[in-house]
Structure 1
Amino acid sequence: ARDTDGDLKADRKDLVTDTYGQEFANVEHNANTLLWALDNWIHTSEVDTFLRLKKGQFEVRKTLSRGQWGASQDDAGRIYRNTNQSALFVDIVPTPYFTRNPHLLRTRGSYETLGGEDLNRTWPVRPTRGVNRGYQDGILRPDGTLSSYTAVCAPTVYRGTALPSDLYGSVFVAEPAGNLVSRIVVEDDGTMLRGRKAYEGAEFLASSDERFRPVFLSSAPDGLLYVVDMYHGIIQHKGYITEYLRDQILSRKLESPSGYGRIYRVIHEGSQRDARVPALSKASSAELVETLAHPNGWWRDTAQRILVERDDKSIAGGLKERAEKAPDWRTRLHAMWVLDAMDAIEPSTVIQALEDPLRDVRVSGVRLAERWLGESGTPVQAALLRRLEDQDWAVRRQVAATIGELPADAAPRISAAVTLLERHGDDPITTDAVLSGLNGSEEAVLQRLLQSPEPTRQRSTAAALLAATIIKSGRQDRIEMLLQTGAGERPEWQVEALLAGAEAALLSGPMPGTARRGAGRGGASAAASTAPGGRAGPGSTPAFAKTEPTPPPAPAARAATAAVPLSREPAALLALAAAGGERGGRAEALLARLTWPGKAVKAGDPPAAAALTPEEQKRFEEGRTVYTNLCVACHQEDGQGREKIAPTLIGSGFALGPDGVPVRVLLNGKEGAVGLMPPLGAVLTDEQIASVLTYVRRSWGHEAPPVEPATVATVRKAVTDRTRAWTEAELKGLAQ
């Protein structure tokens, strides 16, 4: 929207994209946030769309949906987001890199959690019984206070100058359900960023007023921190309100009053507030270049944005000087990224950045080098490849992502990938960043790794993940070639790596690199994406740590998942199965997930599903629309779910078992370890519930029977008087 006549009213509107949010989607999980970041992309939350203004036109970029409400950036341009129950995640590797390879088991590096239970504990100063699941054990303490976040939002990196200097770089988050604002200190431990609460058993700001509802925070141009208070008794969306919360609302008349929202300015006794009214839109381009050195991040960010919007190349010389010589590294970053947006950045500037003594300048240098990587043998490419020896964890991980921009199948790209995986294959972030850039080239890298007869943890884990990614591609020729790789006499570690990769891809087996339990089961499930940064989003289980076993999919669910077709029998796998023993049993389990001409049908093999009738196919397509509008924000487009919000639907016994079970879940909701599945019986008709369940039960390789509207009507009548969500124990009983 544009104001073309200066009356402060938008009089021109141009459609940029129709992918930002859904009109009828759940408000708690709809697209939000438009953060113009250091890299000049407009970053979002709860949607898979980024935007960029280039030469006066907006570009739309596909990414992975991350976050729930709000986003912020630090001085280095790292993006921070959160979910309602987990305070803080950060992109160590920018998320769009992971869209290059849709066959990844996980996406570590994107949306990395910065803390666990300690970080997510809350300390209200009043009883907070009016929270949605306050009746559950562990949600409230004995004194009635919220024990951990349940509605945390609006992560904001404080980059101002008017509060005490030790607050600079802290991340503030709002928790409206707990009537508080938290401060999180982010620290570098030499291998990763970590977050910790700034105060032991206390919060930065907490209120005794139940209607104090902080929902947004801002690091402001005057150098202070601003808090937006919704000031209302109810913050829960109506579709999620439990009977418990409804009773709390009515007992204390929390539905009123309305219209009392306010904005607070947080000051300090020694604060020197910058009272100037910003007018950067009226500043000259030369003045904006000078503003890139301002100590307050708001001023630097805004100056950068306006310079990019103007695209005034007359100041390129001044920008180049600051990019190379400014004493403040933050100024150098801003200047480089403005030059990049203007297509005026020079190789010499990037090469200098790649050699900068400061880590965050080198990281940006690596990203900025990508525009020259399509040409072989350039000085920029040589300077980039020298960073393979960089000892800094952040630089190494960015290099791992950036080498994927080298020409496909070219020797430098393959060699760089092998080098990083040989050295750091046990670092999940580095490994996933490398794999993100290898779509279609995994075999070349895998064969290089398999040339060594000696096992290492790095080599074994990387080989298994490469094998899994090849199988996840679904390409018959690639899968058959991989299975043939296991033929003949191979070192023990190679057989184990190929087996582990196949199990992860075909059997929801352990994530390669995790501890194994029993006959190949246990560990972090690849399909469930329980490792942080899984394609479904992050989880709480470190990808290379010992874990408790996760149960395999229920037999009914596994039987409802389509087998992978081959053109001929997998001789190597059949030979391994015939040899018997523990590995023979694992090979048998894999063979049950494969089919080929002439294969004898065995007990436990997935049955062929009947084709959908025209009526059922129509229901399937209608279900796709319902899923896109209501379900995709939580369960994701690929059905893999989101950590601490929604479980994976892939191979789910509840989704694919007897149809009365998923119908009950949609009608009444479901309680579980992940969170509350809201009741949708009042929102969806019988036909819509049957349609969306048919879609889920016949998508992502599933071959479970479709659901009939008449079935939904029968179940709806049977549960008319039920007011509570179903528990997992109840549903398991119904499924038997």
Structure 2
Amino acid sequence: MKAILFSIPLLLVIFLQLISGGRFHGSALGNGFADTIGLKDEFSKSPVLSAEESIRKMKLEDGFSIQIVADEPLLNSPVALSFDNKGRIWVVEMENYMPDTLGTGEDLPTGKIVILSDKNRDGRMDERTVFLDSLVLPRAISFYENGILVAESPNLWFYEIANDKPVSKILVDAAYAEGGNVEHQPNGLFRALDNWIYNAKSGKRYRKKDGKWLIERTHFRGQWGISQDDQGRLFYNNNSENLQGDYFSPGLGANNENQQRVAGFSESIIKNNKVYPIRQTPGVNRAYMDGILDDSHRLVNFTAACGPVIFNSTLFGGDYYGNAFVAEPSANLIKRNIMTNTGYIVAGKQAYSGREFLASTDERFRPVNLSVGPDGALYIVDMYRGIIQHKTYLTPYLKGQIKARDLSEPLNYGRIYKIVPHGKKAKGLSFTNDSRRLLKLLAHSNGWVRNKAQQMIVDSKDKRLEIPLRKILNNTSRPLAAIHALWTMEGLSVLKKEDVLPFLKNQDWTFRMQALSVIPSMLNRENYKEFSSIFRLMLNQDDVLAAPYLAFLNSFVAAFDPIAAKQLLMDLAKKYPNNIYTSDAVISNLKNKESAFYTELAADTSLTISKRLKKVIEDQEKKSGNSVDVSKEYPKGAALFRSICQTCHGADGNGINGLAPPLNRSDWVTGDKSRLIKVILYGLSGPIKIGAKVYKSPEVSGEMPGIASNSNFSDEDIAQVANYIRNSWANKGDKISREAVSEIREKYKGRQKAFTEAEFN
């Protein structure tokens, strides 16, 4: 069962959910399915084009041009890139992803990390060096100190580098991608402003300190791709939602495992999810369903959103700075969104109505990741292929199109493009280890350069830079440089209380926010009293913007003075009882103390704080249940749950915000056996009511696809996973037999469409 109740298939590596279009004209497709969509002659085929030819099929915003940075034979199935300090591009190649509709040989070690160099400095890569090969479906990389992190599921490795070669290999996390199939595993390895490394499709963050790798719990975020704004807040998305993100700094508010949802994290930033392709797009996995395509057979809404980037370069001009660009490979386009900030609230809107920043009629153009480069240009990773949908959720409809249009081949293509404005030269930048030069770059107009300079200084561990960094910090007339100086000093462990106090007292919220965000890493027994006094002063001065941060910080103060910390929480709860962000921030400190705090607060039950606390208490009560190890009785069911369901419904079965509703204590799971079998086999389209609550987008994604068409799952397998979830956690249901699954499969033989709640009712 796809782990998402309500999620149109999340594309594999890119977690895109589509595969190139089909030959229609009423012709019969494979598996007995006939397509009734009529395609214009120009879209009835999807020929393989050179990069130059593909560019001619693109329609780009006026005033811009697109240039080839690299193409085949230098590239093969690229899914992610990263620039080093020499301006070279390191590319992750997922070469063996879906070689055919059966995924034959997908687990063979053919993936690579390659280095692309521009020897003649003409802007186009002309040399390829293989850094690592023999990898199984690698997905992400990140430079760190003298090496590079490489995500090769289920492991996260760190390779030391010498002369562009790996010289040692250290296992950082053996459970980096625990559970989940290739469509549902962590990716990104994004090194953020706060010096931690974050991921999409993950609830972990990483950092190296005193020679040891640290792994901490953080908020579960996104699906494929991750970025940040100038304030260090993270942005991401799921396959059907344009852009999600955080209102607050990423390291805060993830302390209470009982709290399923913390307001201000995984927020829907862009409410409008419409897309405007310039070609017919019938080749999405469930194009036969109502509402997926419009009357002209074009995709209506995002179904494979991925690879977002917050564009913090001045190369495009002021109107584009801070915009969010999002890739949609199923519709062969890139969307532009305009962002706004009001206090700590981030919102946005699509830049255009009825058109896109970039759209193509080349169906094999698959933008799967976006990045700002050292030259300030917008870089596009184009996987360039036919099949993108993973076999786990591949429908007979789509298999028929692949067969009819011969879309399995070729597999050895891939491109990197960059977009630049007319009349401007995108000039690259190479870094040196000259500390004076790196310090100046903290004020650079290109956010990528600022971030790289910060990372290189932190990696140098050169504490002699404390004094010049403090000078930059104290010059608040250059806010971005000052912010980077703050976090660079944090990374070098030279930040002092006296450095942060002026930021806390600054009238500009930008500075206060950064000061509040950095305090956890420097709070200690010597300074906690002074900081606690300032928190109390900010509360008394009605600093509404700071209120959620004051609550988030209490878990750190409590380590030294639990009584004062609890009192501040109580005062915050009473002063801002209807502020959802402050309420959830308060609750984030109350792991296993929610009931006692609720009783002591004695607040009106209609207040937000009371409702939110009550919800967490009820959720905690639901977690108690079976003490029996169900996996011993249903071992295959447990394995299938971990690989297919867990990454969206959660290991505890309580669902994950933005992805899927709970399986624990769900009448859909423990109730009618035939209904559950139908959902697993054929899927379920939302909204859906579980108990007294209705789950719908964006709280959960749009549809859970079934797996009836996947020949890898037998009727016994289906019965096993159904029994596993019916008897795990607090669930208790009678047994489902293999024969019952066979009966349902035979009864609905040939069905493609997902069920709806209305059908069952």
TM-score bracket for the superposition, by shorter chain length: 0.7 to 0.9
Alignment of 1:301-380 (within 5 A): 301-370=451-520, 371-372=522-523, 378-380=529-531
1:647 partner SS = coil
Matched, 1:398 2:553: no
| 1:369-414 alpha-carbon deviations (Å, 9 max, x no partner) | 2332656862222223333256666533222211232216734322
Pair 1:676–1:441, CA change in 2 (3 A): closer
Match of 2:421 in 1: 268
- Structure with higher Rg: it is 1
Pair 1:11–1:76, CA change in 2 (3 A): same
Q: Name which of structure 1's ranges 292-301 and 694-703 shifts more when overlaid on structure 2.
A: 694-703
Q: Name which of structure 1's ranges 397-406 and 36-45 shifts more when overlaid on structure 2.
A: 397-406
1:705 to 709, 734, 741: 734
Offset, 1:176: 0.5
1:334 partner SS = helix
Q: Which amino acid aligns with 1:303?
A: A
Match of 1:284 in 2: 434
Q: Distance in 1 between matches of 2:215 and 2:252?
A: 15
Match of 2:195 in 1: 40
| 1:168-197 alpha-carbon deviations (Å, 9 max, x no partner) | 110100000111101111112456211100
Counterpart contact for 1:105–1:468, Cα < 8 Å: no
Alignment of 1:9-48 (within 5 A): 9-22=165-178, 25-48=180-203
Q: Distance in 2 between matches of 1:444 and 1:670?
A: 39
The two structures, once aligned, show a CA RMSD in angstroms of 2.9
Matched, 1:462 2:609: yes
Matched, 1:420 2:572: yes
1:216 partner SS = strand
Counterpart contact for 1:697–1:703, Cα < 8 Å: yes
Match of 2:229 in 1: 74
Q: Distance in 2 between matches of 1:253 and 1:390?
A: 68
Counterpart contact for 1:230–1:262, Cα < 8 Å: yes
Pair 1:96–1:352, CA change in 2 (3 A): closer
Match of 2:535 in 1: 384
1:181 to 328, 331, 334: 334
Gaps of 5+ in 1: 475-505, 507-560, 564-608
Q: Distance in 2 between matches of 1:85 and 1:55?
A: 41
Q: Distance in 2 between matches of 1:271 and 1:634?
A: 44
Pair 1:212–1:330, CA change in 2 (3 A): same
Offset, 1:618: 1.5
Offset, 1:227: 1.2
1:654 partner SS = helix
| 1:577-612 alpha-carbon deviations (Å, 9 max, x no partner) | xxxxxxxxxxxxxxxxxxxxxxxxxxxxxxxx9x97
Q: Name which of structure 1's ranges 217-226 and 338-347 shifts more when overlaid on structure 2.
A: 338-347
Offset, 1:270: 2.8
1:7 to 156, 160, 163: 163
Match of 1:583 in 2: none
1:100 partner SS = coil
2:384 to 225, 228, 231: 231
Counterpart contact for 1:325–1:332, Cα < 8 Å: yes
| 1:255-311 alpha-carbon deviations (Å, 9 max, x no partner) | 3333332111101113231233x2x3x422333222211111111111111222221
Match of 1:619 in 2: 633
Q: Which amino acid aligns with 2:332?
A: N
Match of 2:42 in 1: none
Q: Which amino acid aligns with 2:486?
A: M
Q: More helix by proportion, 1 or 2?
A: 1
2:221 partner SS = coil
Counterpart contact for 2:605–2:611, Cα < 8 Å: no
Q: More strand by proportion, 1 or 2?
A: 2
Offset, 1:678: 3.3
Pair 1:106–1:336, CA change in 2 (3 A): same
Q: Distance in 1 between matches of 2:657 and 2:611?
A: 24
| 1:618-656 alpha-carbon deviations (Å, 9 max, x no partner) | 124553333222211121222233456433213333321
Match of 1:90 in 2: 245
Residue correspondences, number: 588
Q: Distance in 1 between matches of 2:542 and 2:482?
A: 22
Pair 1:79–1:391, CA change in 2 (3 A): farther
Counterpart contact for 1:38–1:334, Cα < 8 Å: yes
Pair 1:689–1:628, CA change in 2 (3 A): same
Match of 2:17 in 1: none
Matched, 1:144 2:294: no
Q: Distance in 2 between matches of 1:638 and 1:219?
A: 37
2:558 partner SS = coil
Match of 1:541 in 2: none
TM-score after normalising by structure 2:
0.72
Counterpart contact for 1:654–1:661, Cα < 8 Å: yes
Pair 1:715–1:180, CA change in 2 (3 A): same
Pair 1:401–1:124, CA change in 2 (3 A): same
Q: Distance in 2 between matches of 1:238 and 1:389?
A: 58
Gaps of 5+ in 2: 1-147, 149-157, 688-701
Offset, 1:687: 4.4
Offset, 1:348: 0.6
1:13 partner SS = strand
Q: Distance in 2 between matches of 1:188 and 1:356?
A: 18
Q: Distance in 1 between matches of 2:618 and 2:410?
A: 57
Offset, 1:83: 0.4
Match of 1:666 in 2: 680
Matched, 1:433 2:462: no
Q: Which amino acid aligns with 2:445?
A: P
Match of 2:57 in 1: none
